[in-house]
Chain A
Amino acid sequence: MSDHRKFVQIRHAQKSFGTLEVLKDISLTVERGQIVAIIGPSGSGKSTLLRAINDLDPLTGGEVWLDGVQVNKSLPFRQYEKHINQMRQDIGMVFQHFNLFPHMTARENVTMAPKMLKGLSKEEADKLAEEQLDKVGMLERMDYYPSQLSGGQKQRVAIARALAMKPKLMLFDEATSALDPELVDEVNQVMKKLAEEHMTMIIVTHEMDFAASVCDRVLFMDQGVVVEEGPPSVVFKNPEKERTRAFLRKHLEGAK
């Protein structure tokens, strides 16, 4: 058997919608503290792969392991629900459209799940909210509702919300794609900070510069397969595959 001691392991991931195969036998290992970026054209399956890790989009074949436990175990419905809810507490996720809870303040967004799932008292929860919102530079806006925040601020609160569950792994699904260009940097700064704290992260992104500067490894996906994989210095500067080169060429031109 291959090594389940690896921190995150995706083995032979396969996903089809009817006859459309969006993931074709993808395997990926991420070590503890590593930061992996997944890049590729839209429709390449990169978001689907990311969303398979916490079973938001269940795989049709293959396995996902986190820290020695299989995430997508086959269990009867009720047992599986219990298992996956437990697993998800350890996997933070940040979405392209933030998905903050609009009926709760920033503070409540952050404390809701820890209070509900970990039984934190009000004092503990408030302390946690201050800690996490301070980390993303949103302490002053603690009692604002999402509708009163800018896109960048919303995303920083969303990151704090995910971090409040003290996850072992963070997933970022195009976290800056919906932001105005001038707001991208404040979110990137937060992600950089997490990188410095050795948070294990898997990041689906369109931002090549950001990926190059923080990631240990880059995966280029196209049409449901990993075309090329390696350190950013190689994938970005000296890609082996023509498809990777074509994608980067198009993307870098587009950025100009």
Chain B
Amino acid sequence: MDMDLMLRVYPFFLQAAGTTILLSVLTALLGLACGTLGAAARLSRFAFVRFLGAAYVSVFRGTPALIQLFILYFGGPQIGIQLDAFEAGVIGLGINAGAYMTETIRGAIISIDKGQKEAARTLGLSRWQAMYRIILPQAARLMVRPLGVNLNMLIKATALVAAISVIELTYTAQRYIGSTYKPFEMFLLAGVLYMIIIYATGRAVAWLDRKVQIT
């Protein structure tokens, strides 16, 4: 193993890891927004809106994220969507992650005992008041860990955008292999950096989960 080489190139990898982190953060935020909307749709009192929510989940969980990225980035211009690689990466991965988060959020909401809603409604709270004051605060606590799993998957999925040439960790590793012919060292370096990012997020999620539990 060529340690010298690894030490020489790692600053560039760190920079690329920064892009991976930025990509992950933006994707997570967009995913959370899509997931919230998706869950709201899945729980709507209108059958058509519920159908839209279910269709969103089936389509984006039912096809490879890579294909979704390719359609958006390479196919987009054909239908008038012009995005640079980074934008396409965030939007594509965000919408994809949102489909998974939809189910996480919906699952947490429907797992709250229906007696909670009944008690709230019985006191005179409206559907919406019962949702945001009684159901959501309890569901949010249940969501932390499974959303953490979604986050973990999403960070790893950012490696896919190397295929549309976003200069993040995986792409950077490939580029340095082109000039050094040392795939073992380069991919190992990228892998270690991914692991550090994921380990840190995992710890943060675990901390948050402890923090929000009731007494």
Whether A103 and B122, one on each chain, are in contact in the complex, defined by CB atoms closer than 8 angstroms, is no
Contact with A along B174-215 (1 / 0, CB 8 A): 000000000000000000000000000000000000000011
Whether A89 and B119, one on each chain, are in contact in the complex, defined by CB atoms closer than 8 angstroms, is no
In the complex, identify which listed stretch (A5-13, A58-66, A92-100, A129-137) lies at the interface while the others stay far away: A92-100
Whether A88 and B118, one on each chain, are in contact in the complex, defined by CB atoms closer than 8 angstroms, is no
Within 8 A of A (CB), among B85-136: 113, 115-116, 118-127, 129, 133-134
Q: Which residues of chain B come closer than 8 Å to A56, judged between CB atoms?
A: 118, 121-122
Give CA–CA (A165, B123) in the complex, Å: 7
Assign chain B's interface to a size class: 20 to 34
Does B137 count as interface, using CB distance less than 8 angstroms?
A: yes
In the complex, identify which listed stretch (A111-119, A182-190, A201-209, A225-233) lies at the interface while the others stay far away: A111-119
Q: Which of B118, B122, B129 contacts A91 (CB 8 A)?
A: B122
Residue of A nearest to B119 (CB): A99
Q: Which residues of chain B come closer than 8 Å to A116, judged between CB atoms?
A: 125, 129, 133
A147-B214, A147-B215, A148-B215 known; A99+B116 contact, CB < 8 A: yes
Report whether over half of chain B's contact residues are helix, strand or loop; otherwise say mixed.
helix
Does B68 count as interface, using CB distance less than 8 angstroms?
A: no
Assign chain A's interface to a size class: 20 to 34
Give CA–CA (A88, B215) in the complex, Å: 31
Whether B138 and A85, one on each chain, are in contact in the complex, defined by CB atoms closer than 8 angstroms, is no
Within 8 A of B (CB), among A54-101: 54, 56, 81, 85-86, 88-89, 91-93, 95, 97, 99-101
Does A156 count as interface, using CB distance less than 8 angstroms?
A: no
Rounded to whole Å, the gap between the CB of B126 and the closest CB of chain A is 5
Rounded to whole Å, the gap between the CB of B209 and the closest CB of chain A is 15
Whether A145 and B126, one on each chain, are in contact in the complex, defined by CB atoms closer than 8 angstroms, is no
Rounded to whole Å, the gap between the CB of A146 and the closest CB of chain B is 9
Does A162 count as interface, using CB distance less than 8 angstroms?
A: yes
Whether A81 and B127, one on each chain, are in contact in the complex, defined by CB atoms closer than 8 angstroms, is yes
Rounded to whole Å, the gap between the CB of B79 and the closest CB of chain A is 38
Whether B124 and A86, one on each chain, are in contact in the complex, defined by CB atoms closer than 8 angstroms, is yes
Q: Which residues of chain A come closer than 8 Å to B215, judged between CB atoms?
A: 145, 147-148
Give CA–CA (A159, B80) in the complex, Å: 61
Give CA–CA (A88, B137) in the complex, Å: 23
Q: Which of A97, A148, A162 contacts B123 (CB 8 A)?
A: A162
Whether B137 and A85, one on each chain, are in contact in the complex, defined by CB atoms closer than 8 angstroms, is no
Give CA–CA (A54, B124) in the complex, Å: 10
Give CA–CA (A148, B118) in the complex, Å: 22
Does A168 count as interface, using CB distance less than 8 angstroms?
A: no
Chain A residues with CB under 8 Å of chain B are 54, 56, 81, 85-86, 88-89, 91-93, 95, 97, 99-103, 112-113, 116-117, 145, 147-148, 158, 161-162, 165
Chain B residues with CB under 8 Å of chain A are 113, 115-116, 118-127, 129, 133-134, 137-138, 141, 214-215
Query: Can you show 6 pairs from A to B with CB atoms below 8 A apart?
Result: A54-B122, A95-B119, A101-B116, A101-B138, A113-B123, A116-B125
